[in-house]
A and B are shown apart, each in its own frame.
Chain A
Amino acid sequence: MNWQGWAEIALTLGLALALGWPLGIFMSRVWNKESTWLDPVLKPIERGFYAVAGIDPNKSQGWVGYGASLIAFNLFGFILLYAMLRLQGILPFNPQGFAGVSPDLAFNTAVSFVTNTNWQSYGGETTMSHFTQMVGLTTQNFVSAATGAAIAAALARAFAGNRETGIGNFWADLVRTTLYVLLPLAFVLAVALIGLGVVQNFAASVSATTLDGASQTISVAPTASQLAIKQLGINGGGIFNVNSAHPFENPNPLTNLMTAIAINTLGWAAFFAFGRSAFARKEIRALATAGILILGAGAGVIYVAEAQPAPALVAAGIENPVNMEGKETRFGLAGTAAWAAQTTGASNGSVNGMHDSLMPLGGGMSMLLMMLGEILPGGIGSGIAIMVVMAVLSVFVAGLMVGRTPEYLGKKIEAREIQFAMVALLVVPLSTLGLSALTVVWPGGLSSLFNPGAHGLSELLYAFTSATANNGSAFGGVSANVPWWNTTLGLAMLLGRFIPIVAVLAIAGSIVTKPKLAPSTGTLPTTGALFIGLLVGVIIILGALQYFPALALGPIVEHFQVLEAVAAN
Chain B
Amino acid sequence: MSTMDFETQGRGSTRLAGGLTAATLARALGDAFVKLDPRKLLGNPVILATELVAVLATISAAIAIGSGADGGFAVAIALWLWATVLFANFAESIAEGRGKAAADSLRATRTSTKAKLIVDEKQELIVPTPAHELGLGQIILVEAGDVIPVDGEIIEGVASVNEAAITGESAPVIRESGGDRSAVTGGTTVVSDWIKVRVTARPGSTFLDRMIAMVEGADRRKTPNEIALAVLLAGLTLIFLIAVVTLLAFAAYSGIALDPVVLGALFVCLIPTTIGGLLSAVGIAGMDRLLKVNVLATSGRAVEAAGDVDTLLLDKTGTITFGNRMATEVIASPGIREEVAFRAAVMTSLGDETPEGRSIIELARNKGISIEAPADSTIIPFSASTRLSGLDTDGKTWRKGAVDAILKLTGKKDSDAPAQFRQAVDRIARSGGTPLAIAEGNTLIGVIHLKDVVKPGVAARFADLRRMGLRTVMITGDNPVTAAAIAAEAGVDDFLAEATPEDKLRLIREEQGKGRLVAMCGDGANDAPALAQADVGVAMQTGAQAAREAGNMVDLDSDPTKVIEIVEVGKQMLITRGALTTFSIANDVAKYFAIIPALFVVVLPQLQMLNIMGLTSPESAILSAVIFNALIIVALIPLALRGVKYRAVGAGALLSRNLLIYGLGGLIAPFIGIKIIDVAITALGLA
Residues of A at the B interface (CB closer than 8 Å) are 162, 393, 396-405, 410, 413-415, 417-419, 422-423, 425-426, 429-430, 433-434, 436-438, 440-441, 446, 453-454, 456-457, 460, 515-518, 520-525, 528, 530, 534, 537, 541, 544-550, 552-554, 556-557, 560-561, 563-564
User: Which residues on the B side are within 8 Å of A413 (C-beta)?
Assistant: 228
Report the separation of the CA atoms of residues A515 and B310 in the bound assembly, to the nearest whole angstrom: 14
- A155 → chain B closest CB, angstroms: 19
Query: Given contacts A549-B247, A552-B596, A552-B607, is CB(A396)–CB(B232) below 8 Å?
Result: yes
Confirm or deny: B582 has a beta carbon within 8 angstroms of a beta carbon on chain A.
yes
Contact with A405, one of B254, B308, B470, B588 (Cβ below 8 angstroms): B308
A contact residues around B243 at 8 Å (CB): 429, 433, 545-547, 549-550
Partner of B254, one of A417, A433, A454, A528: A454
Known A-B contacts A419-B231, A520-B471, A541-B589; A430 and B242 likewise in contact (beta carbons under 8 Å): yes
Q: Are A403 and B589 in contact (CB under 8 A)?
A: no
Decide yes or no whether B249 CB sits under 8 A from chain A. Answer: yes
Known contacts being A397-B578, A403-B646, is A556 close to B655, with CB within 8 Å? no
B574 at the binding interface (Cβ < 8 Å): yes
- Expressed in whole angstroms, the minimum distance between the Cβ of A178 and any Cβ of chain B is 35
Question: Is there an interface contact between A440 and B250, defined as CB atoms closer than 8 Å?
Answer: yes
Chain A at the B interface: mostly helix, strand, loop or mixed? helix
The answer, among B224, B238, B304, B307, for a CB contact under 8 Å with A415, is B224
Q: Is the CB of A429 within 8 A of B249?
A: no
Q: Which of B227, B231, B247, B606 contacts A422 (CB 8 A)?
A: B231
**In the assembly, what is the distance between CA of A549 and CA of B249, in Å?**
11
Cα(A242)–Cα(B606), bound, Å: 34
Smallest CB–CB gap between B570 and chain A, Å?
7
Q: Is the CB of A530 within 8 A of B656?
A: yes
How many angstroms from the CA of A137 to the CA of B581 in the assembled complex? Answer: 46
Least CB distance, B685 to chain A, in whole angstroms: 29
Q: In this assembly, does B514 line the interface, its C-beta being within 8 Å of a C-beta of chain A?
A: yes
Is B245 at the interface (CB under 8 A from chain A)? yes
Binary per-residue interface labels of chain B (303-316) against chain A in the complex, 1 for a CB within 8 Å, 0 otherwise: 01001101000000
Report the Cα distance A437→B310, complex, angstroms.
50
B193 smallest CB distance to A (angstroms): 47
Judge whether B663 is part of the interface by a CB distance below 8 angstroms.
yes
Determine the chain B residues whose CB is within 8 A of the CB of A518 once the complex forms: 514-516
Can you sample 6 A-B contacts with CB below 8 Å?
A: A401-B654, A410-B515, A429-B243, A541-B585, A553-B250, A560-B609
Contact check, B228 vs A457: say whether CB atoms are below 8 A apart. no
Annotate B15-38 by CB proximity to A: 1 below 8 A, 0 otherwise: 000000000000000000000000
Contact A517 B516 (CB under 8 A): yes
Contacts of B224 in A (CB 8 A): 405, 414-415
Question: CB within 8 A of A404: which of B239, B571, B582?
Answer: B571
Residues of A within 8 A of B585 (CB): 397, 541, 545
- Chain A CB within 10 Å, residue with most, of B228, B238, B466, B467: B228
Contact of B604 among A440, A525, A545, A557 (CB under 8 A): A557
Highest count of chain B CB atoms <10 Å: which of A454, A530, A548? A548
Contacts of A561 in B (CB 8 A): 606
Please name 19 further chain A to chain B contacts, defined as beta carbons within 8 Å, in addition to the given A400-B581, A446-B253, sorted by A numbering.
A397-B578, A397-B581, A400-B225, A400-B575, A402-B575, A433-B242, A437-B245, A440-B252, A454-B254, A457-B253, A520-B310, A522-B469, A522-B470, A523-B651, A530-B659, A544-B589, A545-B585, A548-B592, A557-B606
- Flag if B246 contacts A433 (CB, 8 Å): yes
The answer, yes or no, to whether B458 is at the interface (CB within 8 Å) is no
Q: Interface residues of B: mostly helix, strand, loop or mixed?
A: helix
Which of B227, B234, B575, B663 lies at the interface centre, i.e. has the most chain A CB atoms within 10 A of its CB? B663
Asked, given contacts A415-B231, A556-B610, A561-B606, whether A399 binds B578 with beta carbons under 8 Å apart, the answer is yes
Asked whether B373 is an interface residue with its Cβ less than 8 Å from the other chain, the reply is: no
Chain B residues positioned under 8 Å from A522 (CB to CB): 310, 468-470, 650-651
Contact A552 B600 (CB under 8 A): yes
Indicate if the CB atoms of A434 and B650 lie closer than 8 Å.
no
- Is A403 a contact of B254 with CB atoms below 8 Å? no
Asked if B134 CB lies within 8 Å of chain A CBs, one says no
* CB pair A537 B606 closer than 8 Å: no
* Bound CA–CA A207/B229 (angstroms): 65
Q: Which residue of B239, B466, B581 contacts A429 across the interface (Cβ within 8 Å)?
A: B239
In contact, B235 and A414 (Cβ under 8 angstroms): no
When A520-B471, A521-B469, A545-B270 are in contact, do A401 and B242 touch as well, CB less than 8 Å? no
Closest 5 CB pairs of A and B: A522-B469, A400-B578, A403-B571, A422-B235, A560-B606
CA distance A393 to B228 in the complex (A): 11
A403-B310 CB under 8 A given contacts A415-B224, A418-B231, A518-B516: no
Is the beta-carbon distance between B662 and A401 smaller than 8 angstroms? Answer: yes
**A515 — which chain B residues lie within 8 A by C-beta?**
515
Judge whether B250 and A549 touch: CB under 8 Å. yes
Report the separation of the CA atoms of residues A415 and B606 in the bound assembly, to the nearest whole angstrom: 44
Write out, one digit per residue, whether chain B residues 652-667 have a CB within 8 A of any chain A CB (1) or not (0): 1011101100110000
Contact A457 B663 (CB under 8 A): no
Q: In this assembly, does B563 line the interface, its C-beta being within 8 Å of a C-beta of chain A? A: no
A402: contacting residue among B235, B589, B651, CB under 8 A = B651
**B239 lies within 8 A of A426 (CB):** yes
Q: In the assembly, what is the distance between CA of A456 and CA of B250, in Å?
A: 11
With an 8 A cutoff between CB atoms, is B566 at the interface? Answer: no
In contact, B228 and A414 (Cβ under 8 angstroms) = yes
